[in-house]
Structure 1
Amino acid sequence: MSLLNSVDRPHVLTAIETWDKAGGSNYMLVRGGVSTHVLLHGGREYDAAAIMGIAHGLATGRTLTPADVPGGGAGASKALVRLGFDIRDDSPPTERVPGTRARAPRTSTPRSTGSSTPRATRPARVAASDKPVTLCPRCFIALPATGICDTCD
């Protein structure tokens, strides 16, 4: 059983009120505004892990710091989504929590409905530094463009 299963919606709402009364908006400034999991409630934004830590304290008597929340911001986001809250997930796409939304809606590129003719393939470009170097078979020094070793011949 997860530590966060003891938290109910009323605990989170009370934690939000406590946060607002204590001037929690300054917390984001002190912490550097780096929260990637943001609780959206009443037109305001809250650090999801911090609110979940306070809500856990209301539910169990043991307040958690954002670092102590199981799963961090992602764990707090999952628990808050389960309780019916909106979460904005600003983490990179590979780390997104299901059920949360990104800062801006993603747009998909339209698929072409044209003919299915294959495209002409271009030859792969290779940087000059990535081309294999030809070595002299006797002294193993790189050969110049002439192909004749300056050291051996």
Structure 2
Amino acid sequence: MATFSSVTRQHILQAIAEYDDRGAENFLGVYGFGPSRGYTLVHEGKTYDSKAILGVAHRYATGRAATSEEFHGGTHGAAEILRKRGFEVDEPETAAAPQKAAAPRKAAAPRKAATPRKPAEPERVAPICPTCFMTLPGTGVCDSCG
């Protein structure tokens, strides 16, 4: 299971920038996330898939992207973490408490039309030395262990 304590606001902003650069469909496909069915991150008038953004922010923080199965509390858990980092997360209508009156929402700005992009290639996993656990150079021989 992934822990998100090392994920900072800056890591989340980096993931948002990558999402904007790749486009939603390509971003989700590269990291293996499906489209959000509820909780959406709102940043600068645009909406983002909360679990995918947090999973990729985990990659910026630790070097490994978290998968959708690694979230404690599902999408709701991702929303809590994003809120703690100062982001706005919209809840689906069915998740709102029945006693509360729904707060009026601002109309989100429409997303820009996606430009066709070259599909991204999956991230290559670097080989690791089995003795010292350092990333191996291109030669495949560890500089430390030989």
TM beyond 0.5: yes
Q: CA deviation at 1:94?
A: 6.3
Choose which of 30, 37, 40 in structure 2 pairs with 1:38. 40
TM-score, with length taken from structure 2: 0.57
Residues 46 and 76 (structure 1), Cα distance of their counterparts in 2 relative to 1, 3 Å cut: same
- CA displacement, residues 86-121 of structure 1 (integer Å, 9 cap, x when unaligned): 00010524679xxxxx9x527xxxxxxxxxxxxxxx
| Alignment-derived partner of residue 23 in structure 2 | 23
For structure 1, the 5+ residue unaligned runs are 97-101, 107-153
SS of 2:103's equivalent in the other structure is coil
SS of 1:3's equivalent in the other structure is coil
| Alignment-derived partner of residue 71 in structure 2 | 69
Aligned length: 98
**CA–CA separation in structure 1 for the residues paired with 2:36 and 2:48:** 12
SS of 2:68's equivalent in the other structure is coil
Cα pair 2:15 2:53 within 8 Å, conserved: yes
**CA–CA separation in structure 2 for the residues paired with 1:5 and 1:91:** 29
Residues 17 and 34 (structure 1), Cα distance of their counterparts in 2 relative to 1, 3 Å cut: closer
Q: CA deviation at 1:84?
A: 0.4
Q: Which protein has greater RCO, CA pairs closer than 8 Å, 6+ apart?
A: 2
Instruction: Give the number of the structure whose alpha-carbon radius of gyration is greater.
Output: 1
For structure 2, the 5+ residue unaligned runs are 105-146
Q: How does 1:1-153 map to 2 (within 5 A)?
A: 3-24=3-24, 27=28, 31=34, 33-90=35-92, 92-93=94-95, 105=103
Q: CA deviation at 1:25?
A: 5.0
Cα pair 2:36 2:50 within 8 Å, conserved: no
Residues 81 and 62 (structure 1), Cα distance of their counterparts in 2 relative to 1, 3 Å cut: same
